[in-house]
Amino acid sequence: MMRKTSSDSRSRILAAARTEFQEYGYEKASMRRIGDRCGLSAAGIYRHCRDKEDLYNQVIGPAAEAVRVWVEAFFPRCHAALLAGRELSEVSETALMREVVFPRMDDYHLLLTGSQGTRHEGFLYDLTRRSQEAMNLLIEALRAQGKSIPEMEPETMHMLISSFLTAMFEPVILGYPPDKAMHCLEAVDRFFLPGWNKLLDL
């Protein structure tokens, strides 16, 4: 019974915290208001988290981790697809939005707009850096298989990946409804994929 009660309290705290962070962002969120929302004292809340940032991470951390896991798996899939003669458009990174982000649009909106002051504040920059590292590994693997991939300066690659990811996540930041966000995503694919194909000589 005690375990169930603790689990119920945690669920109430996380639901209250998500609402508070959505309304106020991390920096202006109040632990007192979170307690009022879920009917618990400050001491009751701190039994489930170290501090406000830890509570924010409990709310938003799974969303950030889901993106990290997807990106790590994406480039090996991309490598296998290209070696099999498939088009880059068949394995576009925009699938990340359809498979992971759009089903949890509210969480990612909070991650992108309400994380100032937390370790998630640089989410898009960190995602760009990880994507660039993975892209370099993909290019090395393709060259090892005999494909001729032109050289690209790191600064140029960073700029292009950053532009691509920013465009993908902009509908989330702006709070577009899913159908409009999907329409924008299709435009991003049509705009960026021909350029990537040309730059990588695929």
CATH 2.60.120.1440 assigned to 1-49: no
Segment 178-200, tens digit of pLDDT: 899 999 999 998 899 888 888 88
Report the candidate in 171, 172, 163 with the shortest Cα–Cα distance to residue 196: 163
Run of H or E including 53: helix 52-83
Structure tokens at 132: 């660039």
pLDDT of residue 88: 59
CA distance 71 to 131: 7
Whether 168 and 94 have beta carbons less than 8 Å apart is answered as: yes
Higher pLDDT, 13 or 3: 13
Structure tokens at 1: 């019974």
Segment 126-175, tens digit of pLDDT: 999 998 998 888 888 888 888 888 898 999 999 999 999 999 999 999 99
Range scoring the smallest mean pLDDT among 66-70, 76-80, 149-153: 76-80
Structure tokens at 156: 């140029």
For residue 52, pLDDT over 60 is answered with yes
The pTM of the whole model exceeds 0.85? no
Angle at 2 between CA 65 and CA 50, to 5 degrees: 40
